[in-house]
Structure 1
Amino acid sequence: MRWFVLALLSLGLLIDFADKSIMGFAADPIMKEFHLTYSEWGIAGGAAFWLFSIVGVIGAALSDKVGTKKMLGFMIFFWSILQLGAFAVTGLSVLVLYRALLGAGEGPFTPTAMSHIEKWFAPESRGLAASIFINGSNVGSLVGAPVLVTMIVHFGWRIAFASLGILGFVVFIAWIFCPEKPKFKGLQTELGEDKDFPRKKFIWSEFYPILLSPACIFTLLIGFSSMWLTVWSAVWMPNYFTSVIHLTPEGMGWAVSAIGVIMIIVSTLISYFSDRMFAKNQDFRKSRVMVTGSSMVVTGLILSSLVLAHSELWAIIVFGFGIGLSQLAFIMLPQIMIRLLPERAGLMASIVTSFMNIAGIIGPMMTGFALQSAGHNVTLGFDHSILFIAAGLVLFGLLFSLFVDPDKKMRHLEPAIVKDSSLN
């Protein structure tokens, strides 16, 4: 059952990510249909993230009360209905509103799903489980790119959106029959207990020191940089391949699929490597923090090479390896945040994912402005946007590796948790 639950969550994330990817795949026809400039397209591309972060925190925190299964089911149902509303889009303002509402429906999905995965998988296997879940988005690139591009070319982008809504309803029906959590004992929490953390009233004075700690701050910043790359790849990468590499729409679709293959292999292998390290030494900092931070630095360095070589093969290799390594942030950062305050798993996971999604709001717009200011030299505008992403990944990857150590927080918490458990 745990693998069936994980498969449905991965399929849900596939739909979530494919919904964002369509905007990139359909960039040219939408811009032509509504006569949009690069700046306007950047606004439309980032609209899905306007409410994403706010609703993400509220929804994921609410899942701690109502249950992750109910919250996940509601989101899948909600966005499936909205995706059918693509036929009502008639211009830029309606497109922006439509994307903003979709973002609100999808906002809490990833943190809530990560919290749900914590119920079904033991600590030493959560990295692989989270990797499989996150790879739902990569499969969306692998399988969805040529399929969606073909649908857009032959049937229009509205039909492509509606097809995702239909698939969402199928997932929703299957989700109804899944239990909230396992009906067997033995899955341990991060502290090695066989039961849930004792629930207690939320106290702001105890929470804000965690929020202002170096572990939290640099976790949020590296997540922000990673998300900037992810959103750039969804909104602008297809246009990069058609405008800079000069591929046809069909060629672009297959290039994105090739990137998806590399991404899945790289992210799965690096997650498995992190899991094996943790199983062997039980050192959270070495196996989770250092592996993640190093991956972000490597991603930034190889991305910067794109400004020196604008070839199709090299771009596929760099994006495949770079984005694949950066996916580790989506896998590990929620675990790091949950480790800082385990009894508020949904809230902590939502904080990092929602902060990451701020990059989704401003990233597409800044790229649009960079392209607009570059005038006819579109290649220069894209190069500047890539270098900006690379610099952020290297800088925050180094700071993350140097200053994040959740084990210090856990060692501080252990006496209090043991005392609180004995009282219960």
Structure 2
Amino acid sequence: MKTRWWTIAIILGLVVVNYIDRSAISFAASHLRDEFGITTAQYGIISSAFSIGYMLFALLSGPLVDRFGSRRVLITGMFIWAAATALTPFAGGFIGLILLRILLGAGEAPCFPAATRIASRWLPAHERGKALAMIGGVAVSGSLLIGGPILTQLIALTSWKGMFWVLAIAGLVWVAVAFPFLKNSPSEASFVSEEEQRYIRSGQTDGEDSGHESKVDWGEILRNRNLWLVGLGYFSWGFMFWAFMYWLPQYLEHEFGLSIKAVGGFSVAPWAAGVVGALAGGILVDRVYKRTESIRSRFVIIGVALLLAGASIAPIVFFPGNLTIALICISAGVGFGFVTGGIWWVASIDAAPSQPGTAAGFADACFALSGIIAPTVMGFIVGRTGTYNGGFLVMTILCLVGAVAMLFFTKEPEREPAAVVPGAPKGEFTTAK
């Protein structure tokens, strides 16, 4: 394995631990209600609390990653979120759970801004689509795919409290692996060959070989029209994603009377579809870009995927109470949604190649905002109506809004002519500055 892909593999492991940790509470929801007297509405608020910490620190962690480098910020974040996970059984009640979920969100927030920066520093541009699809799509959906069976079995073997402690230990194991091997850029890694370093630099723009930046230019971020539209689209997909991550086990358990073990099995299908969608999206975005060299082609792919995701969810409203139809529709919606999984991060790099962590943090904060809103809205709808149909309708509408934004309001960025990099492999170019 080339060194650059070993680095990506370490980040993939981080994402798996990240998403299994954040979704664990959905499988312990019934136990939390019994232990702490949590109501359905309060559970929705507790789920949203994670994204409060996540959104605030996604905005902060992007500049921190660009300033201090991914390695230091990620390892510090892992210690924070491992502590929050381990302390969850000792929360004591509603307020304690809210505070620990905010802390967990703060610890996990640097993950994707740091991963985006590492991809831009360790990979040439033409390899980033599939890598970021693996990081932002396959690893996310894959962790939720395996997370259901793993978490339900951990609860059965160790109790719901033991499940949280095992997850905290898994985070510390990741630190032990990452500490000696994870570097901010190839230039900081003595174990990278000169040949591989030349290959990586041949596909980078000026400034993308640095491990960290001296300052952050927020003006470049906030003036970028495409980045704002990416934020809107990411919010639209995020509502569906967060709603299913926190409410799918509850939906299957209460709507169809499934046991917790059966919920773990049936929850596999949507996230398996997400893995397929993420793989397809990663391959598609790289191939289309290689053929067209159009950055806007990425937004078109996102728009079509959001349109299909929203259309897939709509039939559930008209055929309530049918488990087969529900699983097919949810799986299709999640699968099409995850086609966009890695493209958000590619688009962030394109928006601000000199400070990809900050750009990714901005996009991630928009995604986190939907994570604040979606669980609470779903809890309110279910609590008031006794049905999930209103939530499915909101998902469909938001996906349509995001699709329109991506398809009709994005534009091709102005770029400098490409120039051949001395010593680059034949056919490889970079953007002139």
- TM-score, scaled relative to structure 2: 0.87
Q: 2:10 corresponds to which letter in structure 1?
A: L
Does structure 1 conserve the Cα–Cα contact (< 8 Å) formed by 2:46 and 2:94? yes
Q: CA separation in 1, counterparts of 2:272 and 2:105?
A: 26
Match of 2:247 among 220, 225, 236: 236
Does structure 2 conserve the Cα–Cα contact (< 8 Å) formed by 1:294 and 1:398? no
Match of 1:155 among 152, 155, 158: 158
Does structure 2 conserve the Cα–Cα contact (< 8 Å) formed by 1:340 and 1:410? no
Cross-structure match for 2:286: 275
Match of 2:399 among 387, 393, 400: 393
Cross-structure match for 1:180: 184
Cross-structure match for 1:146: 149
Cross-structure match for 1:252: 263
Q: 1:174 corresponds to which letter in structure 2?
A: V
Aligned-pair distance for 1:36? 2.1
Q: 1:299 corresponds to which letter in structure 2?
A: A
Does structure 1 conserve the Cα–Cα contact (< 8 Å) formed by 2:277 and 2:337? no
Cross-structure match for 2:415: 410
Q: 1:36 corresponds to which letter in structure 2?
A: I
Number of equivalences: 407
Q: 1:248 to 1:350 in 2, by over 3 A?
A: same
Residue 296 (str. 1) matches residue 310 (str. 2): no
Residue 370 (str. 1) matches residue 375 (str. 2): no
Sequence identity, in percent?
21
Q: CA separation in 1, counterparts of 2:92 and 2:142?
A: 30
Deviates more, 1:115-124 or 1:149-158: 149-158
Does structure 1 conserve the Cα–Cα contact (< 8 Å) formed by 2:86 and 2:164? yes
Q: CA separation in 1, counterparts of 2:93 and 2:213?
A: 48
Q: CA separation in 2, counterparts of 1:276 and 1:74?
A: 37
Residue 115 (str. 1) matches residue 129 (str. 2): no
Cross-structure match for 1:418: none
Q: CA separation in 1, counterparts of 2:14 and 2:229?
A: 29
Aligned-pair distance for 1:408? 2.4
Q: CA separation in 2, counterparts of 1:56 and 1:194?
A: 23
Q: 2:178 corresponds to which letter in structure 1?
A: W
Deviates more, 1:126-135 or 1:314-323: 314-323
Deviates more, 1:85-94 or 1:43-52: 85-94
Cross-structure match for 2:227: 216
Where is the helix percentage greater, Structure 1 or Structure 2? Answer: 1
Does structure 2 conserve the Cα–Cα contact (< 8 Å) formed by 1:189 and 1:196? no
Q: CA separation in 2, counterparts of 1:49 and 1:195?
A: 30
Q: 1:351 to 1:80 in 2, by over 3 A?
A: same
Residue 200 of structure 2 aligns to a residue in which SS? coil
Cross-structure match for 2:331: 320
Residue 410 of structure 1 aligns to a residue in which SS? coil
Residue 408 of structure 1 aligns to a residue in which SS? coil
> What do the CA deviations read for 1:87-116 (whole angstroms, capped 9, x no partner)?
312211111111111111111211211111
Aligned-pair distance for 1:303? 0.8
Where in structure 1 are there 5+ consecutive unaligned residues?
415-420
Q: 1:149 to 1:10 in 2, by over 3 A?
A: same
Q: State the superposition RMSD in angstroms.
A: 2.5
Q: 1:281 to 1:194 in 2, by over 3 A?
A: farther
Aligned-pair distance for 1:191? 6.6
Match of 1:333 among 338, 341, 344: 344
Q: CA separation in 1, counterparts of 2:11 and 2:121?
A: 13
Q: 1:189 to 1:306 in 2, by over 3 A?
A: farther
- TM-score, scaled relative to structure 1: 0.89
Residue 256 of structure 2 aligns to a residue in which SS? coil
Q: 1:100 to 1:193 in 2, by over 3 A?
A: closer
Does structure 1 conserve the Cα–Cα contact (< 8 Å) formed by 2:26 and 2:245? yes
Residue 50 of structure 1 aligns to a residue in which SS? helix
Q: CA separation in 1, counterparts of 2:121 and 2:288?
A: 22
Where in structure 2 are there 5+ consecutive unaligned residues?
187-191, 420-431
